[in-house]
Amino acid sequence: MTAVMWFRRDLRLGDNPALVEAAADGGDGGVLPLFVLDPRLWGTAGISRRLYLGDSLRALDASLRDREGGSGGLQVVRGDPVRRVVAAAREVGASRVHVAADHGPYGSERDAAVEEALARHDIELVRTGSPYAVSPGRVLKKDGTPYWVFTPFSRAWAEHGWRGPIDPPRRVRYLTLADTSGIPDLQRPDGLSLPTAGEDAARRRWRAFLDGPLTDYARDRDKPGVDGTSRMSVHLKWGEIHPRTMLADISERGGKGTQTYRSELAWREFYAHVLHHRPETARDYYKQEFARMEYDEPGELFEKWQQGRTGFPVVDAAMRQLRATGWMHNRARMIVASFLVKDLHVEWQHGARHFMEWLVDGDLASNQHGWQWTAGCGTDAAPFFRVFNPVSQGRKFDPDGAYVRRWVPELADAEDPHEPVDPIVDHAEERREALDRWERIRG
């Protein structure tokens, strides 16, 4: 008997329940480690995400080849998953294909289609685990309905609990395919610096955070000019580490930083929970009344926002950081999102799409609902009348200007790096305009 392990958002060997199940299922017959380059996902990814994914796949391939008893690396094919997964399973004579469940709108539909196609050949799709400590759909109110507010969800989530981490399988015979596409090897643009990908890199980064910034995380996490965050979002996005592993590690530690970090992991799971129950909110408004608001079509000002040329230093620093590293500090994400929606009056979907193109950690649930939170139309949303002032936000969270000076080098020697330079809009005027538009939909 043989089995297929179809990797998606779980590019690791450790603490991977689906891989453990595949290894037990395949037994002496072996396991085919498969990754499908899906044109629908690959085609919407920007260069940063494509490059990072390629690096992560290479790291997984190396891990598979290095494992005791491993005889083949990651098998990468390109095309429609329905066709490619079925073909791969039939080629190696597998009776089951193992996956970690995907609860996203596209992923769940894709998996249902693959499951149906496999069944026509008497092959079973087996879902084990998910990219979350608690899979979406499991944490519900006593009446069986979903939570729509974070705080009660987080309490129920913690009470539900999760299993502990598990070791990778040993002595697995990894199978190969006769014809594969290979892992994409793309040209890296000059000036683009991405984090190191892979399971080992994730573990190193996590250990460094535990031994350093975690202690002061509650104090420093909102300061973009300080290395006070974990930078683990990209590793979670691609499943190079599982949140269970992280929760197990921080459970051994106390302090406010630990409590705050655990809450941030709960927010990630909450947004996945919301998207699972309201899949339309990946593109549409959680609070439908905001769809009636008057918005401006994205044009020249939107392009200046994308390029980091707004004249508002902290906004420009954040947008340039995104282009240069594929990542942006979370406080900066809120500032630039507020600026786009409430200063430039552009609908949140345009900004969310830009982020998903460039962010290496672009998680659909967290990204879309983070944008809706700032735009005032999501769950637990910041009220619309809370319009971030980009100048005061910069001075508050980047008091010495380290963040702005790093990413807006023309202001490196400025006496006040947060003072706008040739701003594209008047913030006070646009704030009044945003509130006027909001008032018109309230009546």
Per residue in 36-82, pLDDT (tens digit) is 999 999 988 899 999 999 999 999 999 999 875 556 899 999 999 99
Sequence ranges of the chain with CATH classification 1.10.579.10: 288-442
pLDDT average, residue stretch 209-219: 96
CATH 1.25.40.80 positions along the chain are 131-164+200-277
- Tens digits of per-residue pLDDT, 103-160? 999 999 999 999 999 999 999 999 999 999 999 999 999 999 999 999 999 999 999 9
CATH 3.40.50.620 domain extents, the chain: 2-130
Q: What is the pLDDT of residue 67?
A: 75
Give dist(CA 35, CA 19) in Å, integer. 13
Segment 165-187 mean pLDDT: 93
Alpha carbon separation from 200 to 6, 12, 69, 71 (Å, rounded): 20, 9, 20, 20
Per-residue pLDDT tens digits for 297-318: 999 999 999 999 999 999 999 9
- Residue 267: both structure tokens together: 């927010």
Q: Among candidates 118, 171, 164, 136, which has minimal Cα distance to 6?
A: 118
Q: What is the topology classification, in CATH, of domain 131-164+200-277?
A: 1.25.40
**pLDDT band (50, 70, 90) for residue 171:** confident
Torsion region of 376: left, alpha or beta (phi above 0 gives left; psi -120 to 50 gives alpha): left
Mean pLDDT of the chain: 96
The length of the chain, given as a count of residues: 443
CA distances from 179 to 37, 66, 357 (A): 14, 22, 30
Alpha-carbon distances, residue 219 vs 93, 257, 315, 401 (angstroms): 55, 8, 22, 17
Q: What is the rounded average pLDDT of the residues 97-102? A: 98
pLDDT-above-70 percentage for the chain: 99
Average pLDDT over residues 188-198: 93
Residues 400-430: tens digit of each pLDDT: 999 999 999 999 999 999 999 999 999 999 9
Architecture of the domain defined by 2-130? 3-Layer(aba) Sandwich (3.40)
Apex CA 379: angle with CA 332 and CA 395, to 5°? 25
**Both tokens assigned to 233:** 């979002």
Q: For residue 60, give Cα distances in angstroms to 21, 67, 81, 243.
A: 18, 11, 20, 18
Three-state secondary structure string covering the chain: CEEEEEECCCCCCCCCHHHHHHHHHHHHHCEEEEEEECHHHHCCCCHHHHHHHHHHHHHHHHHHHHCCCCCCCCEEEECCHHHHHHHHHHHHCEEEEEECCCCCHHHHHHHHHHHHHHHCCCCEEEECCCCCCCCCCCCCCCCCCCCCCHHHHHHHHHHHCCCCCCCCCCCCCECCCCCCCCCCCCCCCCCCCCCCCCHHHHHHHHHHHHCCHHHHHHHHCCCCCCCCCCCCHHHHHCCCCCHHHHHHHHCCCCCHHHHHHHHHHHHHHHHHHHHHHCHHHHCCCCCHHHHHCCCCCCCHHHHHHHHCCCCCHHHHHHHHHHHHHCCCCHHHHHHHHHHHHHHCCCCHHHHHHHHHHHCCCCCHHHHHHHHHHHHCCCCCCCCCCCCCCHHHHHHHHCCCCHHHHHHCHHHCCCCCCCCCCCCCCCHHHHHHHHHHHHHHHHC
Q: Which CATH number fits domain 288-442: 3.30.2350.10, 3.50.50.60, 1.10.579.10, 3.40.190.170?
A: 1.10.579.10
- pLDDT score for 34: 98
- The pLDDT of 160-166, averaged and rounded, is 95
pLDDT value at position 419?
Answer: 97
Give mean pLDDT, residues 242-266. 95
Beta bridge partners of 33: 5
pLDDT on residue 443: 67
pLDDT for 383 equals 87
pLDDT at 431: 97
